[in-house]
Structure formats: structure tokens, C-alpha cells
Structure 1
Amino acid sequence: MIPRRRFLQAATVATVAAGLPATAAHAGDTRTGDAARTAPPAEGTLTDLGPASVASPLGNAEFAGGVLYAGSRGLSPNVVGAYDVAEDSITAHFDIPTGIGVWAMCKVGTDVYVGTHSTSDLYKLDTVAGALTKVASFPDHFIWTLAASPDGKVYLGTSEPGKVKEYDPATGATRDLGEAVPGEAYVRAIQADDTHVYAGVGANAHLIAIDRATGERRDLLPSELADRDWVSSMHVSGTHIAGGMNSLAELLILNKADPSDHRVVKATAEGEKYIVSVLIHDGHVYFAGRPSGTFYRCSLETGELEVLGVPYAEAATHRILAHEGRVYGVQDNAVFVYDPATGALDYRNLVQRGFRAAAEEPMSVHSDGERVYVGGKSGADIHDLATGEVTRLSIPGEPKTMLTVKDTTYLGVYTQAALYSHRAGDAEAKLLARTGNQQDRPRELAYDDRTGVLVMPTQPEPGHMNGALSFYSPHTGEYVTQRPAVERQTVYSVVTRSGIAYLGTLTQEGLGLPPVTTTARLAAFDLSARELLWQVEPVPEARYLSALALGPRRLYGMANTGVVFEFDLRTRKVTRSLQVGAKGGDLFVVGRVAYCGDGDKVYKIDLARFTAKAIVTGLAGEWFGGEPKLALDPSRRALYGVKERNLVRIAISGRR
């Protein structure tokens, strides 16, 4: 693990400080002297524990002259940092005022174009003048990819749906070229030459060539690859097109003059699934795989495959670029540099060279009683509650859910639907298993005392049907996956008791796949027999059940609509329901009350009267994806959440 102060030591003055003093605030707290020091804080008292998760994740980069311009994602604001290769340092930052991240960049002459998502804006960075200008806005959810044509037009690949768009820097005009493939949600890769725009499509793979003059479309994907998921990365040269495909880690190389002249190259690292970035350069195709992080090279002439190394184990490479005879790979907070002449592979941490680190949108929060884990991009920040020290636990992915059993904390990690474990004080987390089964997004973790099994539900990869349940035994190390758990849905929330797992579902299967069911379900699953016992729809038209919690005699749940319901497990009926929050969040039963949140407020529910009141307001939590989280301290006297992007401790009484 890395102490946060070391992680930030070379960052710019604008870096968010990690050592903010803890402060408590409560409008009605006027105690002084010994009483204030010894009495427990009033319910709803907030203690600010500083930035929840500090990171510097990159999404893309582009060279202009001798400078690599790298764009961040998940910060506020996001930035483009200028890495001067000769000086080996970050020499400038340019704030990107809109959007939650930069996935897409390209260049036209000395201008670098930057595409954001949520909101989707296009910026021009004049690298000569050092000036940034927003030049266009789009209604699309994401700008995933940008490419410049030889005559200086900028092409964009967007979602949802998967469209191709054009921006003309000469006139400022934009043009919508429509959906690359009607009904497909994503254009994740785009390239352009003098005559065509090439779009890599998912969640069902297509490689579409669009005639720039006539708009005529042609699918270049060979028929034997028609059942693949994605063409998710791409590069073109004067003679070839190279496309990276998911989920079998295949590289497609096509002859532009005769697409029937093609070859498919399989990445060789064990367990490889994705080809995440591609570059055609000097007679070779360079490409990077996941989850291994392996860097490969394939000869255009012979198809010979070489493994060049693993710059950083399991890291994603967002872009591969050529500059002055070397090949650069852009990863989270770093670049690697490969010299084809010598075979040398160098790794350069950009934060250590001055790239700005800042508070990111956190993804998950969990407390083991002595420390709080906050999940984010490429790991988790661990806050020691006794000392205030914050350390960074690096993990190749995004911890979406966490749970402590005895002295071990388990982390469910996206994108591989992976399960990791971590013991307090250990420098690294341990990979226990990857789910496979076309799953990528862990949704929850629960442990059942009777069976000794950890349960992790997962959402399928984009475009795929049926979520899964995985079962891990800490005693034996066995990891088993069952798919589906609830037919044509994803399990979103889970709680266990006495060998039974109670499941709350999400109607969405893989992203980009239209839901075939309309209402979220509550289901019971026998952990010994590994079979579904029953299922009901407790909240009409609910899209998902965000949380479940068990009381002595009843089960309680919260829907995405903010409705909290009480459920009689004997009669399998909803006995009471109550509109509580603006949206669904986590829910905990503590004695005869329950606590839940919607990202802005924390509510206390009297389970006898079934009434609710807000004990905290104005959190304005900036959670990644807008999915609010809460964690219950094992003492059952505190909750943990975020106020904007700072971690806060929320005092609770557990009493009506």
C-alpha cells in the first residue's frame, strides 16, 4: 500500500490535500467542556474525514510536438496534463470544466481535441497558444472515441445509441452520420482516412466502413466473427485496418484493398479477454490485452506474434501512440515506453512527474470498525480511524462492493467480476477468483454463517443476458458460479440468514441490451441446494431493489424509486411501504430502527410506526454513476458516506 502523502508528494499545488483535520458539525450541539469530550455525539453529527478517494486516472492521450497531452477521468474538474517528454515532467494543466471524464482525444495539426462524457462536449486545446475552447456539444451519453481524418475533420463515436458524428474545425459545423448499426448501443472505436470512416461497434461486433461522401455503409467484419461481442479498439494505416475484439482477446487485421484478405491473432496470456488498444506502426500491429496487462506485437507481413512484456500487471492500456521511434502506452496515472530498437520497456508514473491528483467520484464504502475502505478507480483508499492516516491499496480495477468477514476484507472488482481479499496491514490485495461466465460488474457481497459461503452477485458484460451468483468458501477456497440466478435479470442486492440468500434484482442485464422484464424482483435462494425457492415483485414498476436488510421477523428493502417496504417472509407479502428518499440507496436495520440514504439525505425509519425522518441533509454526495452508498460501522453507532467528495462519519443512536 502507498501512503497518500507519498502518492501526492509530487502533485501540483492544486492537488487536493489528504490530511484535512476531522471536523464535526451539528446545528443543535452546544455542549462544552468534559460533556462535549465524553458524551456520544448527537445523532446526525457529521465528522469530516477528508477526501474519500484521491486518484489521477487517465482516459486517453495524444502527442503534439514533443508533449504528450493526457486527459483524466472521474476528477472535478478533469484536466489535460502536458507531459514534456524531453523534460520528463508535467509542465501545464488545462481544466476541462464539463463532463465526468475524458475517454477520447485526437489531434489536427497542433490542436488537440478532447471529448468528454456525461455531458458530452468537444474541446479544442490550442497547444501553441495554450488556450482551451469548447467547440461543440452533443446530446449523447458518452463520447467514447475520436479520430481525425487526413483533411482535418474530427470524427466521434458515441453511445447510446452508437452513432458516428463529424466536426469540421474549418467551419465549426457538426454532422450526424447516424447509427453505425441500427439498434446497436456503442461505437467504441473510430478511425478515418481520405474516403471512409471506420466504426468499431458493440455490444454485437461490427466493423462498419462509412463512405464519407455518400454515407454508404459496408460491414467489413468477416462472417466467421459475426458472433463476437465488440470491436472495441482500432487503428488504420494506408493499407490495413487493425481491430481489437472482446471477449476472446482477438486481433483482427484486414487488408483495406481486399477485406477478404485478413487474419485473426489470438492474444496468448492466460485468461486474456480484451484487446483494449491498438497501433499500426512500422510494419507491426502493437496491442495491449486485459486482464493480464500484456503488451504484444504482431507482424503485418507474417502474422508472427511477440510478447513484448507486461509494463504493469493487469493494468488497462487506454491508448498506444508512436513518437520519435518509440511506442508509448497510456495507463492509469502512468505511461510505458517501448523502444523497438533495443527492446527496452520503461515505466513512468505521471503523478510522480507532477500530474494533478484530486478527489475522485467514489464507487463504494465499507468499514471494518478500525478503518474505512473507499473504492475508486484502480484501487481503494484506506482511512485509519485512529490515526487519520490514509493509504492507497492498488487494485487493477474498480472495487464496487466490500465486506469484512473476521479479519479479512473481501472486494468485488470490476471489470473482471473479480474477487479479492485484503488483510489489514498487507501491502497488496490477493486475487481469489474471476467469475468468467461473461460477467463483469460485482453488485454486492454477503456472508452466510450457516453455510460459510460468501455470495457475490454480478451483472453480465454489455450485450449479454443473465446475471450470475458466485459462491466463495473462505475455508476451502472453492469458487463456483451459477448463471442465471434469476432468469433474464441481474441480482443487485443480497442479504443472507440461515442458509438462505434473499436477492433483490435489477431489470437491466448487460448494458446495451434492452430489458425484457419490467419490474425488479425479490427472490429467495437456497445456498445448500443452490436453487431458487421463490420470487415476487414487491414494488410495482421498480427498476431495481437497491438494498435489502433483515430484521428479527421481517425483511426490509429499498427500491430505486426511494420506496422502502416491509416484507413478511412467512406469507411472502409486502405488509407496509413508505416513500422515503428521492432515489434508492443502502439500507441497514439497527434494533428497532433502520437507516437509509439517497445521496443527499440520510433517513431514520421507525420500524414500529413505519415513519421516516431525515437526520442529515445537504450531503450532495458525488458518487460515481449516481449510485449513492452508505456503510454501517460494526459498532452500529455510525454510518459512513460522502459529503460531496469527502468521507464523513455520521453518528447514529440506534434508538427510536
Structure 2
Amino acid sequence: MTRLHRSSLAAVAAALVLSLTAPMADAVTDPQPRPAASAPIVGAEESLGYPIESRVLSQDQSQGVDAEGRPQAYWVTAGNDVTPGMFQVTDLRSGEVVFGERLPAGAHSWASTFNTANGTVYFAMTSGEMYSWTPGDDAVTALGVPFPGEGIWRLDAAPDGVVYGGTYPGGLLFSYDPATGEFADHGQAVPGETYARALEADDESVWVGTQPRARLTRFDRGTGQFHQVALPAQYETHEVVYDMTLARDYLLLRVQPSNDLLVYDTSSGEFVNIVPGISGRAISPPDPAGKYVYFRISAQGVVAYDLDTHTYAPIGWGPNAFPGTWAWIDLDHPDFPGLSLAMTYYYGRIYVWNPTTKKTLYIGEGDLQGAPNSITALGSGPDGAVYVGAFLSPPGMARFDPADDSTTLLAGAGQVEGFGTYGEHLVFGRYPNAGLLDFDTTRPWSMGTNPGPPATIAGEQDRPQAFAQVGDLMAVGSVPKSGRLGGALSLWDPATGEVVTHRNVVPDQSVVSLAERDGLLYGGTSINGGYGIDPVATEAELFVADPDTGTVLHRLVPVPGGRAVNGLTFDADGTLWGVSDGTLFTYDPATRSVTRAEQLFPRTANMYGHDRHLVFRGDGYLYVTSSGSLWRVDPQSWAATRLASSGVASLALDEKGDLYYARGAALYRWNFSLRPQPVCDVTVSGPHAGPLRATAGTTCLDGASVDGPVQVSPGAVLVAEDSAVRGPVRAIGAGGVQLDSVTVTGPVSVTGAVGGVWIDGTTVDGPVELLSNSGGTTVSGLTVTGPLSCTGNEPPPVLENVDVDGPVTGQCREA
């Protein structure tokens, strides 16, 4: 008996047609020979679950009372692309969650208000849906999508019960009358402003704050007219009026990015005070005596602002949280006599302070339900791990280790927009405010120390998305802040924290992809700027820049009409590959010209090209995420094969050569060691008397017992699992053959298969011939009573733990 034992199949199976020692994304090998255009799919998709399994994030909150006067907090905890958001209610006296319902539609909400006129909470989603719930109801009431194409970004209820809302991208002010169930469109609050971002309604007026330019306007409820109010001159270039509170005759509004609090006297039409740099979103309503409002300043904690003297002082209460909403509540508890001040925090936490006893109360988020966090970016780490950034991520980012398939949460990372590497360091860009962080992967993660405090890109930048190492520096491509055009190419020295920023290297466009070659930077742009502003450019560009000066040496439009030039990567010959709106192109740096461009994928575009990744593996193929799918492209023939679909985005490569991508909040791996999962056209189970012929498509034997020969015709696929065949198995020119835990009484012959041949855990009482198969051949745990012959297979077969009672010849003897 001949026994053949080889190294672990898991480590070598993909070597059928692939090298598993592929370089990282920016380095490319050029193996010989290159694959044929007709080569079959190798590998299969694996779901790796949710890297950030659950988080509680309620971007906006409100507070109210039930019919018995019990105070409640209202949350709309964020969902993701698969899981809608969830409306939940906390009873502040008991600390219990007393109601919860997963919504039928909508993932994110920035709009919630409690209507004191009818005791109902109203909330709306950024995708446009609006809902209501009255304490005691068994279910949320859907009010529809009042303005298709408009997301709802803020709500406020007037004293008479009419609910007002603001939208994006139209910047509309609208109203909903609960008495009639009718919506009314009052038009764009401020001409040209795309977000109606802050609202405060009283009996006569609705005050509206806007974004992407901080503007204030008053809507006269009687006449239906808007009257703009000029902010102090120093706020002319501010980005947003974010929060407002009416207290007596004063309108208190917070503006970004300074976070200054402006106090506007609505009776005189003058700004009477400015409080610099408050912390958090909300300003409280006046206290029961009407003398004080409360807000937070990071260095002082919560302060009381005197509406008579326009001075403020700390109250000795410093919750470690940004206020999301405030309310005066009755806890009906001796330690909290009268009314106490309750503050909610968007991570689902509640803090309460009593002005008489100075007692405090904390209610945590443990009973609230969250949802997995949507993935924003993937990166290949120098330590062999895959790093995962997520949307508005309070837990942090995730580190997935392919060595043991474990996931570790790295707390405090924030929303990551892009990754890069140098040496043993992982670098990443964070939204908002374009923070750049440097993590030494050889040392433990400790936010604030490793990585240390972020460096910041100047020039009104917000989203650092693209990274490329050039010498000792990291080049960074970024997208500007909301309402701004003109991204930047920045050169960051992680050792010193110095950042040199070159804005508008391509006028009015953002820099969303980068690659380096021979000391020069190659960048791709998006015609879009930050959210809330329309592009003025019409076609995305490819540029070449000198990193020493930031000078653009060459620019062109690689794909006419393209809105974003997505991932860029070089092959071993120095050709630059890129994709734009579904068109793959190549660029010759020597001639500075596009040498080929073909629309290989469906033509789609997004704001910045988040499916912008291209990588070469050691198998000679180019792998691309585009148009919501993962593609394999033969760089010789440009034949494209779709490997995975349905919302695929981002792309990373591990050291073994497997690919990682995202769908919403879930992480997936294209594992080249796995067998492709077949879709069966014909399935045979149980007893089958007589011959069986697979003539076309995929024929599956699942727990079958075939009493007769099995013949596989050219192009057809046979997949047999946990089955028995009493007779020969012969395949000529098959599309693929898989025998998994099969007993064959008779010879097995597979000749000229163009798809993969997999034989695993199978016993054959007869000779086995594997001849001239071109789709890759893997044999593991095969027991043969008879000879084993392997000839002319390309690539050569991979064998492990094969026991043969007979001669072994050809490639099988050599393996």
C-alpha cells in the first residue's frame, strides 16, 4: 500500500491556481503563466458576522410624560442597511425600558419631539419616514413619507400641537397638523441652504437654523413668510446652526465649528451675548422659575446661565456626556423633591440632577437594544489583521485576526474613513474634522497613547479617505466639510504630527484615491464636495503630483462623464489601473495617457466612491469592488467574472491572499481555500436504479445511492456528497467534479475538466485517473483499491492523506 501525506490542505488547497503568499494591496507580483480568461471560479464566500455586533446610538432623543405624568425618555436607536432602527422608551422613575418596536423602515433618526398638546412623541428618519407614538399604544403609527426624496433632520412641536420639520437636501420647512393628519410644505427656509438643521417653534414663529452655511431665519406662522436674521459678522463662514432653545424672549443657538452659544433677543432683534465653546448639543429649557437655562462646558461641567444678568457659573455637576436633550421632570422620590433636571446622551444614557438636594441619578443603556454597526472602511494591517471602521461608532473599530478568526474591539477610534500603513504602523483617517491617527501594531492599543492625539488636516477638510506612503511621509486624500467644495492632498509626517495641506489640487474636487510610484503621487478625484452642496465640476480626474511641492504635474479625465475615479493600483510592469463609475482603465505613466478603458461593470456612482478598491493577488488576477459586487478581472483578456454581489463595498487583502469586503454591517471573506458552493439544477437523493447522466448544468447527489454508472458530459458539473455509486464514474470535459464522502464501487476517471476537481473523504474500489484537468485538482482523504494515475493536469494536483493500494504514477507520484 502506498501512503501519501502532505502538509495541511487548508494551507495549500488554494495553490491549485493561486499563490497564497500574495503581497499587500500596494505591492504586486506578476506570476507566470497568467491565468486563462475561461478559468473557473476558485474559492467561496464566508460570512464572518458583525465585527461590531451591537451598539446603542440614538442620534436624537426627546423627553415627555405618560398619561399618569411619569417621565419618559424616547430613543430611536440606529439600525443599518439590513436592520431598521428601533423606537424605545425608558421610564425615568424605574429606569426600565417600557416599550420597544423595530421600525418597518428607516435606519437613522435625527428628529424627535414630544408634543405636549396631545401627549404624543413624533420622530422621523433621515430616509424620509415619519412616525408617532402615544404612551400606552401597543405599536408605533407610521405617518408615511411626506416628501419623497427628502430626509427629515429635525422636528419640533409648537405649543398648539402643530409639528414642524426640516429636511435635506431641499432644506424645506414643513408642518404636520395632528388634528387633520395633513402635511404642508412651506418651502426652502433659506435660499441655497440644503439642510433645515435646527428648529424652535412658538405660537407665532418657527426659528430655523441651516447648514452648510450657518444661517438663521424666522418663519411667520401667520403670513407664511420667512425673515432672515443676520448672525454676528464673525460667524459668516460658520457651517451650521445646530441647536436652539427659546427661553423667555431669548433664542439661544449653538453654531459650529466654534460651538459658541449666541443669545438673541427676539424682542429687540439684537444678539446680546456670546458664550464661547460650549460642549454638547442641547441647551435646557428654563427652570421652573424662568431664571436659568443649563448647558455644558467641558472644562466646567454643567453651568447655569442667568437670563437676567447673562452670566453663568458651574453647578458642581459634571456628567461625562454631551447633552442631547434636557427636561424638567418629577421623579416622585424624596431625594429628588420638586422638579429635577434630566439629560439624555445619544449612547442611551440618562443623567438626573436635583437643584435642591444636589443628588444625582444615572440610568445606563444596558436594557436598550442596538444594532450592528454599518461598516465604513476596511484596511489590511501590517500585522496580518484586517481592520474595520464603522459609522458613528461609539464602540470603536474592530480588528479581525485571520489566524484564528477572532475579532477584537479597539475602543475610541470613532468613524474611520480610510486606512493606510507604513512599516509596522496602521494609520487611519477619522470623521469629523479630518483627524489622522497612527497606531503602532507591535504595541497594545490604548486610545490617546497608541494611537496618540490625532493630527488634523487644515483647509476645511472632514473625511481623510485615501492613503499612500511616499518616503517617510503619508500622503492623504480628503473630502471637505459639509457645504464646501475642494478636497485636499496632504503630506503627513506621523513622527512629528506635521501636516502640509494642498487644497484644490484639482479645483472643486475631492481626492478619494491615491497610489505612489517612483516618488510621484497618482490621485483620483470625486466631483463632489461635502454633503449639502452640489458639484460644479462635471468629470472626475486623474492627476500626478510632486509630493515635495504639491504641484500637479499632469491632469486628465480618464473616463468621460465619470463622477469619481475610484481605487488606484499599479501592476508589476508599472501600469496604473483604476475604475470610474463602472469603467476599468489603465494609464501609462511614461506617456501620461490612458491606454485602455472598458465598461466592465454596471455604471454606478456614489458620492466618494466607497467601493473604490482594486487589488492584485498572486494569481495574476485583478480584484475589484464596483457597482455593489466583487469582481475578478483577467488583466490579459479583461474578462470580468462576478464573484459576489448584493451590496458589496470596500476591499482588503490578508497575508494568505483571502479577500475581505462588507455588506452593510456584516464582514465577508472570499476564501480561496473553500470549494465553491453549487447551485443545483438537478438533485438526486435516496435510491436511484440504473445509469445516471449529468448532461448540463449542475447535478447534485445528496445522500443518493446510485445502482449504475454515472457519466458527466462536457460542460456539466457533478457534485456528490454523502452518496454511494455502484458503477463507474466518468467525466470528460466537465465544468467541475466534486466527490465529498462518496463510496464508488468501480473506476473513477476525470479527463479534461475545465472546472475544479475536488475529491475529499472518498473511497474508490477501482482505478482512479485524473487526466489533463485545467480547473485545479485537490485530493484529500482518498482511499483507492487499485492504481492512481495523474497526467497532464495544469496546475498539478494537490494531494493530502491519500492511501492507494496499487501503483501511483505521473503527477500524483510527484506530489
Aligned residue runs from structure 1 range 448-597, under 5 A? 448=470, 451-552=471-572, 553-559=574-580, 561-582=581-602, 583=604, 585=611, 586-590=613-617, 592-597=620-625
Match of 1:22 in 2: none
1:134 Cα deviation after fit: 0.6
1:132 Cα deviation after fit: 0.5
1:52 matched to 2:51: yes
1:165 Cα deviation after fit: 0.5
Q: 1:34 to 1:478 in 2, by over 3 A?
A: closer
Aligned residues of 1:581 and 1:597 also touching (Cα < 8 A) = no
Aligned residues of 2:126 and 2:151 also touching (Cα < 8 A) = yes
Aligned residues of 1:619 and 1:644 also touching (Cα < 8 A) = no
**d(CA) in 2 for partners of 1:34 and 1:389?**
24
Match of 2:114 in 1: 107
Aligned residue runs from structure 1 range 344-493, under 5 A? 348-350=363-365, 353-368=366-381, 370-376=384-390, 377-378=392-393, 379-395=396-412, 397-424=414-441, 425-428=444-447, 429-448=451-470, 451-493=471-513
Match of 2:133 in 1: 125
Aligned residues of 1:473 and 1:479 also touching (Cα < 8 A) = yes
Q: 1:320 to 1:467 in 2, by over 3 A?
A: farther
Q: 1:201 to 1:294 in 2, by over 3 A?
A: farther
Question: Which stretch of the first structure deviates more once superposed, 295-304 or 200-209?
Answer: 295-304
User: What is the aligned-residue identity percentage?
Assistant: 27
Write out per-residue CA displacement over residues 543-582 of structure 1, whole angstroms, 9 at most, x where no aligned residue: 11121111132111111x2111111111111111122233
Write out per-residue CA displacement over residues 237-279 of structure 1, whole angstroms, 9 at most, x where no aligned residue: 342211111222221111222222532221178xxxxx63333
Q: 1:348 to 1:502 in 2, by over 3 A?
A: farther
Aligned residues of 2:482 and 2:532 also touching (Cα < 8 A) = yes
Q: 1:644 to 1:184 in 2, by over 3 A?
A: closer
What stretches of structure 1 of length at least 5 have no aligned partner?
1-32, 270-274, 622-627
**d(CA) in 2 for partners of 1:403 and 1:295?**
39
Write out per-residue CA displacement over residues 456-497 of structure 1, whole angstroms, 9 at most, x where no aligned residue: 222111122321222222333323323233222111111122
What is the one-letter code of the residue matched to 1:157? G
Aligned residues of 1:580 and 1:603 also touching (Cα < 8 A) = no
Q: 1:630 to 1:117 in 2, by over 3 A?
A: same
TM-score by length of 1: 0.85
Q: What secondary structure does 1:101 align onto?
A: coil
**d(CA) in 1 for partners of 2:143 and 2:178?**
9
**d(CA) in 2 for partners of 1:342 and 1:259?**
38
Q: Which has the higher strand share?
A: 1
**d(CA) in 2 for partners of 1:346 and 1:495?**
53
Q: What secondary structure does 1:40 align onto?
A: helix
Aligned residues of 2:252 and 2:263 also touching (Cα < 8 A) = yes
**d(CA) in 2 for partners of 1:261 and 1:223?**
8
Question: Which stretch of the first structure deviates more once superposed, 465-474 or 176-185?
Answer: 465-474
Match of 2:162 in 1: 153
Aligned residues of 1:105 and 1:147 also touching (Cα < 8 A) = yes
Q: 1:478 to 1:344 in 2, by over 3 A?
A: farther
Q: What secondary structure does 2:466 align onto?
A: coil
Q: 1:644 to 1:460 in 2, by over 3 A?
A: closer
**d(CA) in 2 for partners of 1:217 and 1:331?**
32
CA RMSD, aligned part only? Answer: 2.8
Q: 1:221 to 1:339 in 2, by over 3 A?
A: farther
Write out per-residue CA displacement over residues 405-453 of structure 1, whole angstroms, 9 at most, x where no aligned residue: 33322221101211123344324343331224321122222222xx211
Q: 1:338 to 1:318 in 2, by over 3 A?
A: same
TM-score by length of 2: 0.69
**d(CA) in 2 for partners of 1:212 and 1:80?**
30
Q: 1:363 to 1:337 in 2, by over 3 A?
A: farther
What stretches of structure 2 of length at least 5 have no aligned partner?
1-5, 15-40, 66-70, 330-338, 674-775, 777-794, 796-815
1:104 Cα deviation after fit: 0.6
**d(CA) in 2 for partners of 1:466 and 1:547?**
19
Aligned residues of 1:400 and 1:413 also touching (Cα < 8 A) = yes
Q: 1:362 to 1:343 in 2, by over 3 A?
A: farther
2:95 to 75, 88, 93: 88
Q: 1:620 to 1:512 in 2, by over 3 A?
A: closer
**d(CA) in 1 for partners of 2:401 and 2:435?**
25
Q: 1:261 to 1:39 in 2, by over 3 A?
A: closer
What is the one-letter code of the residue matched to 2:504? P
1:630 matched to 2:677: no
**d(CA) in 2 for partners of 1:206 and 1:216?**
16
1:123 Cα deviation after fit: 0.2
**d(CA) in 2 for partners of 1:556 and 1:159?**
36
Q: 1:231 to 1:431 in 2, by over 3 A?
A: same
Count residues with an aligned counterpart: 601
